[in-house]
Structure 1
Amino acid sequence: MGNKSDKNDVLSIYEASKNQQLHCVQIRTLEQQDIATLHKFREGYKKERNQLANRLRGFGREYGANFSLGISKLLKQVPIALEDAENEMTVVARRVIFRLLEQLRHVITLMAEVSDEIETMAKQIDACQRLVQIPGIAWLGASMIYAKFGSAECFRRGRDDSASIGLVPAHSGSGGKVVINEAMYTCVRSLLTGLARWRFMLKKKQTT
C-alpha cells in the first residue's frame, strides 16, 4: 500500500470495509457527541488545573513552603503561606504565587460550570438515569459512558465492549507473555476499571 498518506488511508479503509467479518461500531447521535465534546472541554480545564497546582507546589518548595497534594488542601494552605510574614517568601515570590492561585481558582470555577452543564444534560437522558442507579456511578460518569457506548446494542459480548475502549490482550516481550494493553479512551477506561475494582473489593469485604 505504500507509506502513510490520505490517499493510502482511504484505500485501506475501503479494503477493510469489504471484509465481511468486520464489526462496525455504532455511529454517535448528536446528543452523544455534544456530551463527549463537553467532557473533552472539561478535561482540558482539569489538565490546566493540575498544571497550575503543580506549579504552585514547585514555586512554594523553592521558598521552603511544602503544599499538600490535594487541590482543596492547596487552596487553604497557599493563602496562609502568603499571609505569613515569617516565612522565606520574597515579594516577587508572593506576587507570582498569588497570581497562580487566582488562575487556579478561575479554572476551578470554569470546570465546575462545565460539570453542571453536563449533569443538567445527563438528567434529561433515560440511559443516564438508569446508569446512576448502579452503585458507584454518578451523573458525570453516567454521561461519559452514554457518550461512548450509547445504547450498546452494537456489542455482541463484553470483550467487544472492552476492545472499544482499548482494553485488549497484547503480547509483551518473548515467551508468549500476554498482558492487557491500555490504549485510547483514558477517561472512560479509568472510570470503568476503577468501578470494577471498587465492586470487586466491596464483594471481597462482604464475603470475609
Structure 2
Amino acid sequence: MTDGLFPKERAEVAPGAVHVPGWLTLARQRELVDACRKWARGPVPIRHTRLPRGGVMSVQTVCVGWHWQPYRYTRTADDVNGARVAEFPDWLIRLGREALVAAYGDDAVTGGAGGTAGKPYTPDTALINFYDGDAKMGMHQDKDERSSAPVVSLSIGDTCVFRFGNTENRGRPSTDVELFSGDLFVFGGASRFAYHGVPKVYPGTADPALGLAGRLNITLRETGLRG
C-alpha cells in the first residue's frame, strides 16, 4: 500500500537501515494476520509483558521460535504459562530471506549484509507486537541476540511513526519514518544496534480489507542460540 498519488521508493534511512514501502501485497498481509491470530491463541497466548521494575508494556506481544522476556530468550514461557512457544516455520525463514534481498540486493542472504557473511540468513525467532490506538514503544536496542544478523521488521494495519535513532543513546540524531501497512524495514550492519521506537500510532488508518483494527509489527531475528 502507498499514500498519495505516486508510490514511495526504497530509502536508506541510515547505513544498513533500509525502508521498502509497500513490500507486502494485501494478500500476503492477510495471510500474516491469520497466522498472528493463530499464534496469539497459544500455546503461549499474547500478553502485555511485565518489565523487571514492575512496569507493563502497552503493546501486546507473542513470540514464535524463542520466547522473549526482559532481557533474554527461552524456549518456554516461564513468565506466562510455562509452555513451549510455537515452532518457527520454514516459510518465515524464506520470507526473511526475501526481505533481505529486497532491502540489500540479490547477494544479501549470504553476501555479508549485517554480519551474515558466509552463511545464509536464518531467522529463528519472531516477536509479534500488537498496538492498539494508545500503545507505543520507547526507544530501545534489540541486543538480546547473540547474532549481529539484520532485524527484519514488517508492518501491517494502522500507520505509525517509527523513530530510528543512533547506536549511542536514546536521543538525537534520529529520523522519523511513517510506516504504512505492508512496509518493510530492515536494519543491520552499522545500524544493527541503533535505538528505535514507536512514539505514535494513527488509529483507524488500516485498510478495512485486512480485517484488522490496530497495528501488527512482526520482527524476524537470528538469536544465535542453540537448544
Query: Do the two structures share a fold, i.e. TM-score over 0.5?
Result: no
Bigger strand fraction: 2
Q: Quick one: higher RCO (CA 8 Å, sep 6+), 1 or 2?
A: 2
Normalising by structure 2, what TM-score? 0.29
Bigger helix fraction: 1
**Bigger CA radius of gyration:** 1
